[in-house]
């Protein structure tokens, strides 16, 4: 056999091997994700941006103890800057009063969705834009009632529990209307759960209890603590997913994508997500930051006031969100001593 023929056969074999290795991933990207490779690599035209930034509302729903299934327990605005390759998550309390809705902002998604499918995203983004002082282009809703499926597929997640706590009033699924044999305390409807401070490996069921606990004794019984726990679990899941996708396995990618589609409802397309991912990877030196807009920026009117439907609510100190806008922009622009702005709120 001549050298020319041997060389041709060698290159042919290499081509077939590379095709066999690459083709499944190409099909996954092109056919399953519906991502067009060239536009994703060379264009930003498919993305809505403001000053080279995008803002993304992320809400968590799915607590069966709520009167309404679409109330957002956790509210996060994720800001991504294309120039600096920096992702900043901004946590907002769910009890901020909305004069427009005549209700708390955690009801915005529920009200909008009740009017028409997709209306929840539109209304929530409009309400939250006023609070953070920036346009919000995209939104996603995480269904925590199905979140445990993703956690279990990942083999569980490691979460750093900030404080030990006990919740003696955690609801048992399916027991919501149990008469408990006439027991006036309805004790049969509840169970006691507890968590110890420190790094804890959680399966899906444990993680769900961790984020849903509402009646813990001490500081972990507050809504602020609960929101922080939800963010911890979401962050742990994100870290586990990143670790898994770094190991090329098209079947794993397909399984994760299918579960993700069941757990997360969003208006960001896969094509748009691919453009963001490209920028994060190619830009390099990716940075992350977290901003918490806490109770320091709000007043808490007495409960029972008719103007707030008698509810426990938060209203911005000074009657507007200007100081909150300054606080957020301070962090987004990478300035120092942003925490000093908290002192101006009182």
DSSP letter for 32, please: I
Q: Quick one: which of 331, 329, 327 has its CA closest to 341?
A: 327
Query: What confidence tens digit (pLDDT) does each residue in 138-162 have?
Result: 999 988 778 888 999 999 999 999 9
pLDDT of residue 248: 76
Q: Do the Cβ atoms of 76 and 139 come closer than 8 Å?
A: no
- Coil, helix or strand for 27? helix
Domain definitions of the chain by residue range: 1-32, 39-150+234-344
* Segment (H or E) for 320: none
Residue 6, pLDDT > 70, answer no
Q: How confident is the model at residue 101 (pLDDT cuts 50, 70, 90)?
A: very high
| CA pair distance 72, 212, nearest whole angstrom | 12
Query: What confidence tens digit (pLDDT) does each residue in 75-95 have?
Result: 999 999 999 999 999 999 989
User: CATH for 39-150+234-344?
Assistant: 3.40.630.190
Q: Which residues contact 86 (CB under 8 A, 6 or more apart)?
A: 80, 286, 287, 288, 289
Query: What confidence tens digit (pLDDT) does each residue in 202-251 have?
Result: 999 999 899 888 888 888 888 778 888 888 888 898 888 878 877 778 88
Give the predicted TM-score (pTM) of the model: 0.83
Q: Do the Cβ atoms of 32 and 257 come closer than 8 Å?
A: yes
Residue 265, pLDDT > 60, answer yes
Q: Do the Cβ atoms of 59 and 142 come closer than 8 Å?
A: yes
DSSP string, 73-128: SEEEEEEEETTTTEEEEEEE-TTBEETTTTEEGGGHHHHHHHHSTTHHHHHHHHHH
Radius of gyration of the chain (CA): 24
Q: How confident is the model at residue 66 (pLDDT cuts 50, 70, 90)?
A: low
Query: What confidence tens digit (pLDDT) does each residue in 172-205 have?
Result: 888 888 889 888 888 898 999 999 999 999 999 9
């Amino acid at each position: 056999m001549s050298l020319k023929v041997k060389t041709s056969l060698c290159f042919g074999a290499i081509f077939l091997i590379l095709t066999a290795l690459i083709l499944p991933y190409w099909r996954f990207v092109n056919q399953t994700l519906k991502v067009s490779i060239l536009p994703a690599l060379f264009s930003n035209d498919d993305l809505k941006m403001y000053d080279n930034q995008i803002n993304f509302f992320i809400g968590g729903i799915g607590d069966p103890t709520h009167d309404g299934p679409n109330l957002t327990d956790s509210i996060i605005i994720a800001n991504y800057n294309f120039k600096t390759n920096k992702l900043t998550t901004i946590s907002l309390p769910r009890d901020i009063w909305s004069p427009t809705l005549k209700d708390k902002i955690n009801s915005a998604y529920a009200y909008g969705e009740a009017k028409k499918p997709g209306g929840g995203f539109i209304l929530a983004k409009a309400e939250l834009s006023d609070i953070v002082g920036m346009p919000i282009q995209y939104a996603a809703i995480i269904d925590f009632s199905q979140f445990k499926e993703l956690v279990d597929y990942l083999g569980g997640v490691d979460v750093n529990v900030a404080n030990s706590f006990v919740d003696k009033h955690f609801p048992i699924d399916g027991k919501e209307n149990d008469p408990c044999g006439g027991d006036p305390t309805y004790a049969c409807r509840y169970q006691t759960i507890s968590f110890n401070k420190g790094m804890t490996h959680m399966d899906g069921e444990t993680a769900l209890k961790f984020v849903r606990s509402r009646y813990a004794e001490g500081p972990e019984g507050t809504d602020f603590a609960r929101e922080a726990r939800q963010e911890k679990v979401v962050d742990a899941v994100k870290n586990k997913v990143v670790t898994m996708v770094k190991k090329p396995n098209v079947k794993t990618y397909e399984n994760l994508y299918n579960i993700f589609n069941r757990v997360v409802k969003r208006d960001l397309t896969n094509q748009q997500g691919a453009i963001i991912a490209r920028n994060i990877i190619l830009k390099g030196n990716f940075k992350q930051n977290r901003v918490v807009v806490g109770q320091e920026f709000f007043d808490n009117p007495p409960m029972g006031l008719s103007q707030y439907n008698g509810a426990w609510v938060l209203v911005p100190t000074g009657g507007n969100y200007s100081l909150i806008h300054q606080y957020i922009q301070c962090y987004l622009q990478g300035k120092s001593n942003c925490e000093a702005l908290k002192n101006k709120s009182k």
